[in-house]
Amino acid sequence: MALPPLLRLDGARLTFGGTPLLSDATLSVSPGERIALVGRNGSGKSTLLKIAAGLVEPDGGELFRQPQATIRYLAQEPDFGEAPSVEAYVAAGLGPADDAWRVTRLLEGLGLRADARPSDLSGGEARRAALARVLAPEPDIVLLDEPTNHLDLPTIEWLEEEIRASRSAIVVISHDRRFLERTTEATVWLDRGTTRRLNEGFAAFEGWRDKVLEEEERDLQKLDRKIVREEHWLRYGVTARRTRNERRLAALHQLRADRRNARRAVGQVEMQAGETRESGKLVIEAIGISKAYGERVLVKDFSTRIQRGDRIGLVGPNGAGKTTLLKMLIGESRPDTGRVRLGTNLDLAFLDQKRAALRDDLPVSEALTDGRGDQVMVNGEARHVAGYLKDFLFNPEQIRTPVGNLSGGERARLLLAKVLATPANLLVLDEPTNDLDMETLDLLQELIANYPGTVLLVSHDRDFLDRTVTSVISPQGPGEWLEYAGGYSDMAAQKRGAQKEARKAEKPKPAAAPSPAARPAAASTKLSFKQKYALETLPKEIAALEGEISRAEAEMADPALFSRSPERFAALAREIEAKRARLAAAEDEWLELEMLKGEMEG
């Protein structure tokens, strides 16, 4: 029997002038549910979450919350207020009955200093502090608006595990496909003011969405054909004023009204990169480059050779030195040691993750052209800014809008439009996926995959990397960087293989049996019967425990398990913890016996 919802929003309506933002939006959240809220940029996803959180009042509709249910909302921009420290900011989100120990645990898990001042935090650190504040109380419902923005890959993976282990119901907006696939079990699609629900995780969403849009297009075509038939009857049919004919005429007027009011799916962004001359075959060659700031080494003795057509991804934790390495590779920063050689005929276009190329006080058109008239050159063709910006889903009335008034997604699209209009054969993209919706990401992926030049890409989006890059450069330790062939998943598989080999190499090999003459005669130098038996049986016990843990973890990874059976979820968690302890003890005992055997026989 399904549990009653903790929160239900029915028929929400909201208009900010012009076309309604929300016309019939519904959202239902039951205990333990994991819901992905998806839709195009500007469709009203963040507004819908704010209505659910009680921060925005809708024009109409009904909102019900269980009286005792606790809700926490993660905004895209955290407000630290007057909090003197990160610990104080996070602790302020706790209720009277909440466990203060969770503050310490979350700060440690997110790599934050408790005594750090909020004003000193970077964008990624501020995001982590805001996450700690909403997760610390273990509320009944957590509403997350783009939680992975500005987070590095280790933190994203940590957050995935935290959500999967949480008892809270989660509603999340994110452009990170891999994150949604791993954390959600239902999907709510907000499209043209209304919502549709799919009771499956995000992995099934895109196929379902495409099918819905195809059916909708067929229905509109049927409506068009029916209108044509009725108009033909009106012009050439019986003209006698009969009641049934008046009804038919009224029905035609209604059909026309329905057709006018049918809001088609929002158009697709149309992207093409500005083309220029072909670069030389060698684009970048780095030989033994290093960079340090004081005692902190960011890059040490790194070498690579990048050729025309390569698409290179740079990944790693925040602060590892990705941007430093990127700037050395493109010649913007000089290495302390080593050298970088750039190829011939290079024309570079650079997308900065800080959006520094956009001034908030300029209108959109001037930001695009740098104030040089109302035309932009794209592949040698002069285009009016209105027509070019329409390709990136900007309305004509937005041309004079100040950049500072744009949403995060609109700013991201504007910067893409500016960068892609630049004639270039070397695209350098630093976190291009931030704030882009999935449809725009799809087109950017296609553009990069078919780009005839060379691409250097910094991103924390694993799915985006898998779909675009030919190799990945990743840190292995302080200053150590290695290049892996393939995408992010290929790199992760290669790392796992290397770690397995390293673990095998660390395990001591059984010593060769000594000759009878070399064996000590003293009874005290031999293993006891109990020790010999343990040495023979422990490897089997270790293998069995590893198999049991893997099976339990696989069952626990089912996103629907917690909502279906919280008791089974908790039992599995206890079972895994107990078996991991037994496994560690068995491995330690086996290692000690092997060392003792080696000493006795040596």
Q: How far is Cα 553 from Cα 135, in angstroms, rounded to an integer?
A: 23
Farthest CA pair distance, the chain? 124
Task: Convert 338-350 into a string of H (helix), E (strand) and C (coil).
Answer: EEEEECCCCCEEE
Task: State the Cα–Cα distance between residues 489 and 466, nearest whole angstrom.
Answer: 7
Q: Which residues pair with 267 in a beta bridge?
A: none
Structure tokens at 591: 């290692």
User: Binding residue per annotation — 39?
Assistant: yes
Answer whether 9's CB lies under 8 Å from 52's CB: yes
Whole-number Å distance between alpha carbons of 175 and 432: 12
| 319 carries a ligand binding annotation | yes
- The residues, any chain, with a CB within 8 Å of residue 309's CB and separated by 6 or more, are 452, 453, 454
Task: Write the Ramachandran bin of 66: left for phi over 0, alpha for psi from -120 to 50, otherwise beta.
Answer: beta
Find out whether 496 is annotated in a ligand binding site.
no
Find, among 140, 136, 138, the residue nearest to 101 by Cα: 136
Q: Is 117 annotated as a binding residue?
A: no
Contact residues for 399 (Cβ-Cβ < 8 A; gap 6+): 363, 364, 365, 385, 386, 389
43 carries a ligand binding annotation: yes
Query: Counting Cβ atoms within 10 Å, is residue 504 exposed (0-12), middle (13-18) or buried (19+)?
Result: exposed
Buried/exposed 292-326: b ≥16 CB within 10 Å, e otherwise: beeeebbbbebebebebebbbbbbbbbebbbbbbb
> 488 Cβ partners below 8 Å, 6+ apart?
313, 315, 462, 465, 466, 469, 472
Asked whether residue 317 is marked as a ligand-binding residue, the answer is yes
* 323 annotated binding-site participant: yes
- Was 321 annotated as part of a binding site? yes
Spatial separation of the C-alpha atoms in residues 370 and 368, rounded to whole Å: 6
Three-class DSSP labels, 90-156: HHCCCCCCCCCHHHHHHHHHCCCCCCCCHHHCCHHHHHHHHHHHHHCCCCCEEEEECCCCCCCHHHH
Q: Which residues contact 563 (CB under 8 A, 6 or more apart)?
A: 3, 30, 31, 32, 33, 34, 185
41 is in an annotated binding site: yes
Is 40 annotated as ligand-binding?
yes
For residue 431, the number of C-alpha atoms closer than 13 Å in the C-beta half-sphere is 21
- 81 appears as a binding residue in the annotation: no
Beta bridge partners of 62: 10
Alpha carbon separation from 494 to 162, 483, 490, 590 (Å, rounded): 25, 11, 6, 28
Give me the helices (H) in 460-565, please.
Answer: 462-468, 488-506, 529-556, 561-564
Q: 390 a known binding residue?
A: no
Binding residues are: 39-46, 316-323
Binding residues for ATP are: 39-46, 316-323
